[in-house]
């Protein structure tokens, strides 16, 4: 562990790897250990409960029946702001809004640092090649009752390389076990790993892949965030941590493998080789993409630390753990993208967890000119952080707190007359996971940009709000607040 200059309570801790992060979280009193829970049912059930509770601890399941003690599963990593802050090197004392600001500031100043290749590392404590490969070695849970199999890749990342441009992508794309040596991976159309994979297939060449579970939390958060196309998450996470990620060179593919990760599966996806994948309980809260054929990875090598940890982040109906931490990160990314596109006077942005942090975006602006609100809404809907599987963007004035769902909906109900306030963008970027699109029509969906600002032309004549000002509110609370207490 490294601590930046300051040693006060707002110190930014930079964790070395997942185990260091677990230790720091344990010191905060936020890690529980559960023994004897089954991979078939208990771990999935417990995770469902944990992910839907605010500030629930991270839980490590150990002594899992059918598996050696020490082979563990970790869930609900980012169920508290402090544990997110710890992963990203932000102050663990910050409030939610402060964290968004801190994260934005970090994104602004972030200088990517490429990884360093090392010859040894904990990931090499156990290496199985060829006939010794057995993906069932690990206690992968059956996460939800209706799942079509065991998904070892949930809180994981798949490492691929662009055959034309040479850059390495790390993306969190689910991975299902088919048999001892074969797994399947689902990547949504348009995602960077899918573009890279297709480039290999278009050349009729196998696509080298490494699946990592139990990566450094900063790297994992990079892998499931909308980092720019062409920028490796390894470099990005190095920049976030202020030091290069250490990687070893994969013995089969030559791909970089994080030296401190818990488990890595290395192999190839071959053009035309597919197998039924899914169904899997998805982040929208449905089984919307059912079971389809998807590419396979023939696993040629398995690497793992002693007493390895699977990091599990199974999707569930939002709002849940993942939607909450992604809301916080994606809101910062979205604001960056909107401002970079030249939209002035953005006051706040929030990707609401109830929409899985994708389907409902709120942007507040101080209106400066005619068309400003529509510009903000359209950019939010179509920029990199907002484009994939969105649905509604609501643009509100600066007096509305975009994080407050009731305020946003009140503004929409009272300032937006539907006939003129809603723009529809057809044929936008969706995915097979979109529950509102019929199975034969998956691929596109539409966006509604709801301009819930006071109409620009007569905003100064708009009825005043029937609510006391902040001073009067404070006075009223002080004087009359006692009336609200139980008798
Ligand atoms: C827990 C979790 C599971 C995810 N599963 C998938 C998945 O199975 N397929 C997919 O395309 N994206 C999935 N995502 C979203 C991607 O990780 C995310 O869009 C990321 O930005 C993709 O990386 P890329 O930008 O390099 O393409 C998941 C995200 C999380 C947090």
Ligand 1, CB within 6 Å, residue ranges: 154-155, 169, 171-174, 186-188, 191-193, 224-227, 313, 315, 322
Sign of the Cα pseudo-torsion (27, 28, 29, 31, in order): negative
All residues at 6 or more sequence positions from 484 whose CB lies less than 8 Å from its CB, including other chains: none
**Pairing assessment for the beta strands 151-153 and 156-161 based on DSSP bridges:** unpaired
Q: What is the Å distance from ligand 1's center to 173 Cα?
A: 5
Closest residue CA from atom 31 of ligand 1: 224
Are 223 and 170 spatial neighbours (Cβ–Cβ below 8 Å)? yes
Torsions phi, psi for 265 (to 5 deg): -110, 125
Of 312, 340, 375, at which residue does a domain stop? 312
Q: What is the Å distance from ligand 1's center to 454 Cα?
A: 36
Are 121 and 189 contained in the same domain?
A: yes
Sign of the Cα pseudo-torsion (478, 479, 485, 487, in order): positive
Are 281 and 333 contained in the same domain?
A: no
Query: Total domain count for the chain?
Result: 2
In a domain, 469, yes or no: no
Could you give the 3-state DSSP secondary structure of residue 456? helix
In order along its 487 residues, the chain shows pLDDT tens digits of 444 433 344 567 889 999 999 999 999 999 999 999 999 999 999 999 999 999 999 999 999 999 999 999 999 999 999 999 999 999 999 887 788 889 989 988 999 999 999 999 999 999 999 999 999 999 999 999 999 999 999 999 999 999 999 999 999 999 999 999 999 999 999 999 999 999 999 999 999 999 999 999 999 999 999 999 999 999 999 999 999 999 999 999 999 999 999 999 999 999 999 999 999 999 999 999 999 999 999 999 999 999 999 999 999 999 999 999 999 999 999 999 999 999 999 999 999 999 999 999 999 999 999 999 999 999 999 999 999 999 999 999 999 999 999 999 999 999 999 999 999 999 999 999 999 999 999 999 999 999 999 999 999 999 999 999 999 999 999 999 999 999 8
In a domain, 471, yes or no: no
- pTM for the full predicted model: 0.95
**Other C-beta atoms lying within 10 Å of the C-beta of residue 2:** 13
Write the CATH number for 64: 2.30.110.10
Are 56 and 50 spatial neighbours (Cβ–Cβ below 8 Å)? yes
Q: What is the Å distance from ligand 1's center to 226 Cα?
A: 9
Are 67 and 138 contained in the same domain?
A: yes
Are 177 and 98 contained in the same domain?
A: yes
Are 289 and 226 contained in the same domain?
A: yes
Ligand 1 pocket mutation pick from 149, 167, 172, 359 by most atoms within 8 angstroms of CB = 172
In a domain, 387, yes or no: yes
All residues at 6 or more sequence positions from 187 whose CB lies less than 8 Å from its CB, including other chains: 158, 171, 173, 193, 194, 197
Structure tokens at 243: 């030091």
All residues at 6 or more sequence positions from 104 whose CB lies less than 8 Å from its CB, including other chains: 332, 335, 336
Q: Which whole-number Å values give the CA distances from 467 to 146, 406, 470, 476, in the listed order?
A: 49, 15, 9, 12
Domain range holding 326? 321-461
Q: What is the Å distance from ligand 1's center to 42 Cα?
A: 25
In a domain, 35, yes or no: yes
Q: How far is Cα 356 from Cα 445, in angstroms, rounded to an integer?
A: 16
The 8-class DSSP code of residue 355 comes to G
Are 372 and 298 contained in the same domain?
A: no
């Amino acid at each position: 562990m490294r601590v930046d200059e300051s040693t006060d309570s707002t110190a930014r801790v930079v964790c070395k790897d997942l185990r260091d992060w677990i230790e720091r979280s344990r010191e905060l009193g936020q890690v529980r250990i559960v023994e004897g829970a089954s991979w078939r049912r208990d771990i999935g059930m417990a995770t469902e409960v944990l992910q839907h509770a605010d500030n629930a601890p991270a839980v490590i399941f150990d002594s899992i029946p059918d598996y050696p003690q020490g082979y563990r599963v970790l869930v609900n990593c980012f169920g508290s702001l402090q544990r997110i802050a710890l992963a990203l090197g932000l102050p663990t004392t910050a409030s939610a809004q402060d964290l968004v600001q801190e994260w934005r500031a970090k994104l602004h100043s972030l200088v990517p640092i490429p990884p360093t290749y090392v010859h040894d590392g904990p990931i090499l404590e156990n290496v199985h090649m060829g006939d010794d490969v057995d993906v069932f070695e690990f206690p992968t849970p059956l996460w939800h009752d209706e799942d079509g199999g065991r998904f070892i890749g949930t809180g994981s990342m798949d490492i691929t390389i662009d055959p034309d441009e040479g850059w390495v992508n790390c993306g969190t794309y689910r991975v299902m076990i088919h048999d001892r040596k074969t797994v399947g991976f689902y990547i949504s159309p348009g995602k960077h790993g899918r573009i890279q994979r297709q480039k290999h297939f278009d050349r009729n060449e196998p696509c080298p892949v490494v699946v990592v579970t139990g990566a450094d939390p900063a790297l994992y958060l990079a892998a499931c965030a909308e980092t720019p196309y062409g920028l490796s998450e390894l470099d990005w996470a190095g920049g976030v941590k202020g030091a290069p990620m250490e990687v070893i060179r994969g013995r089969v593919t030559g791909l970089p493998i994080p030296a401190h990760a818990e488990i890595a599966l290395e192999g190839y996806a071959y053009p035309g080789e597919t197998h039924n994948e899914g169904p899997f309980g998805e982040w929208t809260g449905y089984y919307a993409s059912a079971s389809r054929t998807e590419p396979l990875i023939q696993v040629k090598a398995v690497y793992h630390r002693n007493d390895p940890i699977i990091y599990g982040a199974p999707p569930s109906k939002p709002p849940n753990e993942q939607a909450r931490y992604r809301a916080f990160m994606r809101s910062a990314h979205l604001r960056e993208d909107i401002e970079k596109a030249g939209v002035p006077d953005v006051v706040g942005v929030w990707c609401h967890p109830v929409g899985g942090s994708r389907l409902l975006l709120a942007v507040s602006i101080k209106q400066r000119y005619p068309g400003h609100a529509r510009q903000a809404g359209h950019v939010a809907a179509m920029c990199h952080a907002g484009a994939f599987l969105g649905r509604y963007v609501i643009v509100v004035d600066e007096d509305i707190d975009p994080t407050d769902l009731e305020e946003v909906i009140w503004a929409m109900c009272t300032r937006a007359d539907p006939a003129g306030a809603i723009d529809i963008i057809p044929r936008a970027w969706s995915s097979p996971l979109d529950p509102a699109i019929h199975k034969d029509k998956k691929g596109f969906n539409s966006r509604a940009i709801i301009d819930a600002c006071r109409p620009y032309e007569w905003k100064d004549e708009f009825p005043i709000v029937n609510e006391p000002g902040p001073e009067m509110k404070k006075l009223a609370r002080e004087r009359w607040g006692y009336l609200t207490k139980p008798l």
